[in-house]
Amino acid sequence: MKTFEYERATSVRSALTSLGTPGTKPLAGGTNLVDLLKLGVERPDLLVDINRLDFGGIEPTDDGGLLIGAGVRNSDLAADLLVRTRFPLLAKALLSAASGQLRNMASTGGNLLQRTRCTYFMDTTKPCNKRDPGSGCPAIPGASRELGILGVSNDCIATHPGDMAVALTALGAIIHVDTLDGPTSFEIGEFYRLPGADPTRDTNLPAGALITAVEIPGLPFGAVSTYRKARDRASYAFGLVTVAAALDVEDGIVRDVRIALGGVSHKPWRASIAEESLRGKLVTARSFEAAADAELAAATPTEQNAFKVALAKRMLVGTLHELAGGHE
Ligand SMILES: Cc1cc2nc3c(=O)[nH]c(=O)nc-3n(C[C@H](O)[C@H](O)[C@H](O)COP(=O)(O)OP(=O)(O)OC[C@H]3O[C@@H](n4cnc5c(N)ncnc54)[C@H](O)[C@@H]3O)c2cc1C
């Protein structure tokens, strides 16, 4: 492992000043970053520990949403009463992730920025366009079972591995960021990137910036929401395909719906085509299936992960059935 310097930030400003020097990375819970240091995937010169900075807690906002400080731990977020009542899909997504010990350490900001679990990315003896630009993507002809089927490119089929961001994508969360030039923010769909010809960047976070908070806008039907995760083990495993959804039904008709898929793309995948296909439709198995088919029509799987197309359809239809409850 490459040696590095360590410093503990005393203010957001001082952290940003240090992060202005290339080769510097913020350290939050360390549950992803430290693993990647050990593997030699991340090779910073300086780690800036941001764990003692006050990014705020979990606050209700005037529109019925929530403002969540970047340092809030995943276990605290999952246990919060406002999260569980207003946005149960978020609590369920968090609780489906990792283990109790990891969730106690993992922070909101660090969770958003966890790196892909593509085995080629994590193995420095292998080529990988994300880690070593221009070296190639052996995953495309190789071990791709866990990898992407939507929005992939000829250079990268890695997936965002997290659960929390999938729920936040369905909720249209805003990522608040601070930089030396002042604060800025991103709608989560604009925060994450597709791989295209430059898979090195997972997000549009400016160099040297810090995530300070995540804002979830109010969603009146957020309480009618859930998160489903298909994975190889019942716990302590990343999702093969996940679904975050919220559904608003009146008189047997879909008034509004939010859907995001995980495990299928370089970014948490907002299923806008399925949403649009469902609005105003009768709550029936046929409309759910048609919505899933419409969303997945653009899928370009490999031979090894073609099963994800059928799995995503079943997961999406099943989740909508569950949320529709007595309305069918
Ligand atoms: C065995 C195992 C199983 C796991 N299973 C799952 C799972 O099923 N689902 C899931 O979603 N996750 C899973 N995880 C991943 C875990 O959720 C992440 O490692 C964790 O959320 C990262 O948060 P952290 O605070 O530890 O981040 P760190 O490891 O400290 O940082 C991660 C990255 O974010 C950057 N960073 C951190 N905070 C900020 C900030 N405020 N602003 C800017 N940059 C920042 C760091 O520089 C680093 O690049 C698993 C991890 C392990 C080890």
Q: Whose CA is nearest to atom 11 of ligand 1?
A: 162
Which residue among 4, 6, 8, 31 is best mutated to probe the pocket of ligand 1, counting the most ligand atoms within 8 A of its Cβ?
A: 31
Pick left, alpha or beta for residue 200 (phi over 0 → left; psi -120 to 50 → alpha; otherwise beta): alpha
Decide if 203 contacts 269 (C-beta within 8 A).
Answer: no
Instruction: State which residues form the domain around 255.
Output: 225-327
**Residue 316 belongs to a domain:** yes
Is the same domain home to 11 and 42? yes
Residue 118 lies in a domain: no
Whether 323 and 186 map to the same domain: the answer is no
Please say whether the beta carbons of 121 and 200 come within 8 A: no
Q: Return the pLDDT at 235.
A: 86
Question: 243 and 212 share a domain?
Answer: no
**Which among 177, 193, 216 is the end of a domain?**
216
Check which CATH number belongs to the domain holding 11 and give it: 3.30.43.10
Let me know if residue 323 belongs to a domain.
yes
Residue type at 73? R
Please give the Cα distance from 295 to 305 (Å, whole number).
17
CA angle 307, 313, 229 (to 5 degrees): 80
pLDDT tens track for 202-261: 999 999 999 999 999 999 999 999 999 999 998 889 999 999 999 999 999 999 999 999
Q: What is the pLDDT of residue 281?
A: 97
Quick: pLDDT tens for 266-308.
999 999 999 999 999 999 999 999 999 999 999 999 999 999 9
Nearest ligand 1 atom to the CA of 210 is 42
Domain-located, residue 146 = no
Residues with CB under 6 A from ligand 1: 25-33, 35, 50, 70, 97-98, 102, 105-107, 109-111, 113-114, 162-164, 210-211, 238
Residue 312 and residue 234 share a domain:
yes
Mean pLDDT of the chain: 97
How many other CB atoms sit within 10 Å of the CB of residue 127? 14
CATH code, domain carrying 283? 3.30.390.50
Q: What is the tens place of the pLDDT at every residue in 151-168?
A: 999 999 999 999 999 999
CATH number of the domain where residue 75 is located:
3.30.465.10
* Smallest CA separation from ligand 1 atom 36, residue: 110
Is residue 17 domain-shared with residue 77, that is, in the same domain?
no
How close is the Cα of 328 to the center of ligand 1, in Å? 39
Q: What percent of the chain has pLDDT over 70?
A: 99
Position 300 in a domain: yes
Q: Is residue 148 part of a domain?
A: no
Measure Cα distances from 249 to 49, 221, 283 in Å.
46, 9, 8
Ligand 1 atom closest to Cα of 103? Answer: 17
What value does the mean pLDDT take over residues 51-72?
98
Ligand 1 mutation pick, 21, 102, 228, max ligand atoms within 8 A of CB = 102
Which of 42, 114, 240 is the best mutation target for the ligand 1 pocket, counting ligand atoms within 8 Å of the beta carbon and taking the most? 114
pTM of the prediction?
0.98
Backbone region of residue 30 per phi and psi (left: phi > 0; alpha: psi in -120 to 50; beta: other values): left
Ligand 1 center from residue 77 Cα (angstroms) = 14
Residue 77 falls within a domain, yes or no? yes
Q: How far is the CA of 153 from the centre of ligand 1 (A)?
A: 25
What are the tens digits of pLDDT across the range 130-142?
999 999 999 999 9
211 and 184 belong to one structural domain: yes
Q: Which atom of ligand 1 is nearest to the CA of 34?
A: 29
Residues 99 and 170 in one domain: yes
Amino acid at 156: C
Residues 36 and 176 reside in one and the same domain: no
**113: amino acid identity, one letter:** L
- C-alpha 93 – ligand 1 centre gap (Å): 14
Flag whether 153 is in a domain: no
Residues 184 and 305 in one domain: no
Same domain for 210 and 79: yes
Cβ contacts of 101 within 8 Å, gap of 6 or more: none
Same domain flag for 63 and 209: yes
202/229 same-domain check: no
- Atom 13, ligand 1: residue with shortest CA distance: 98
- The pLDDT-based confidence of 326 (bands split at 50, 70, 90) is low
Total count of domains within the chain: 3
Protein residue with least CA distance to atom 14, ligand 1: 98
Indicate the burial class of 95 (C-beta count within 10 angstroms; 0-12, 13-18, 19 or more): buried
What token pair was written down for 277? 């296909």
